[in-house]
Amino acid sequence: MFSGIVESTGIIADIKIQGSNKLLKIESDLSSQTYIDQSITHNGVCLTVIKQDDTTHSVVAIEETLLKSNLNDLKIGSIVNLEKSITANKLLDGHIVQGHVDTTGVCLKIKEAEGSWYFTFSYDPSFANLMVNKGSVTINGVSLTVIDPTLDSFSVAIIPYTYDFTNFKQLKLADRVNLEFDIIGKYVARQLKLQK
């Protein structure tokens, strides 16, 4: 379980193909604090640490993960957002995040607003029932507040701190991002569907 509050960013140091999977080696300040079998989100995707040292850690992204997320778009030098799982005594500053990406979105627009930024993303309209104005969404592992959702797009406002300390600063038009919708909304939508 995660909160969507990014602790650090990492740089993809190496990528190795292993059949239909990819072994990702990440260089990060967080790597020295990791341990084998620990769950960490990488751009919002929960992955298990299989190797680590003082400066790097490695994870495997399986084919299903590569198909459903933007991890297949990563290249050596790409920046990823990182968060360790929350503990029972840690404040939940963002919202409840599982690290299970629902779909990807595409960056449609970036607007600077005198020190902050507005990002607009398109997404699959089949998820429109999970988008609520002022509700929560996770983008590349960052807990954010939804602005002006439509049937196939929505916006978020990014403060300078988030822009500087996550990979939002490298996002460009047409880039894909990982989206995880609010878990409470998903349960409510599921119950409503079953009651029909």
DSSP state of 163: H
- Residue 113: per-residue pLDDT: 93
Are 114 and 183 within one domain? yes
Residue 157 belongs to a domain: yes
Are 107 and 188 within one domain? yes
Residue 38 belongs to a domain: yes
Question: Which pTM value belongs to this model?
Answer: 0.92
Question: Half-sphere exposure (CA, 13 Å, Cβ side) for 9?
Answer: 16
Are 61 and 120 within one domain? no
Number of domains in the chain: 2
- Residue 91: per-residue pLDDT: 63
Residue 16 belongs to a domain: yes
Last residue of a domain, one of 52, 84, 116: 84
Give the CATH number for residue 169.
2.40.30.20
- Its domain, for residue 26, covers 8-84
Are 78 and 146 within one domain? no
- Residue 194: per-residue pLDDT: 77
Residue 1 belongs to a domain: no
The whole-angstrom distance between residue 62's C-alpha and the CA centroid of its chain comes to: 17
- Residue 142: per-residue pLDDT: 97
- Residue 92: per-residue pLDDT: 66
- Residue 57: per-residue pLDDT: 98
Residue 90 belongs to a domain: no
One digit per residue, the tens of pLDDT, for the chain of length 196 reads 888 899 999 999 999 999 999 999 999 999 999 999 999 999 999 999 999 999 999 999 999 999 999 999 999 999 999 999 887 666 667 778 889 999 999 999 999 998 999 999 999 999 999 999 999 999 999 999 999 999 999 999 999 999 999 999 999 999 999 999 987 777 777 777 777 7
What is the C-alpha to C-alpha distance for residues 51 and 27, in angstroms, rounded to an integer? 12
Are 116 and 172 within one domain? yes
Are 119 and 75 within one domain? no
Residue 92 belongs to a domain: no
67: Cβ contacts below 8 Å, ≥ 6 apart: none
- Residue 90: per-residue pLDDT: 67
- Residue by residue, DSSP assigns 65-125 as HHHHSSGGG--TT-EEEEEEPP-TTS---S--B-S---EEEEEEEEEE-SS-EEEEEE--G
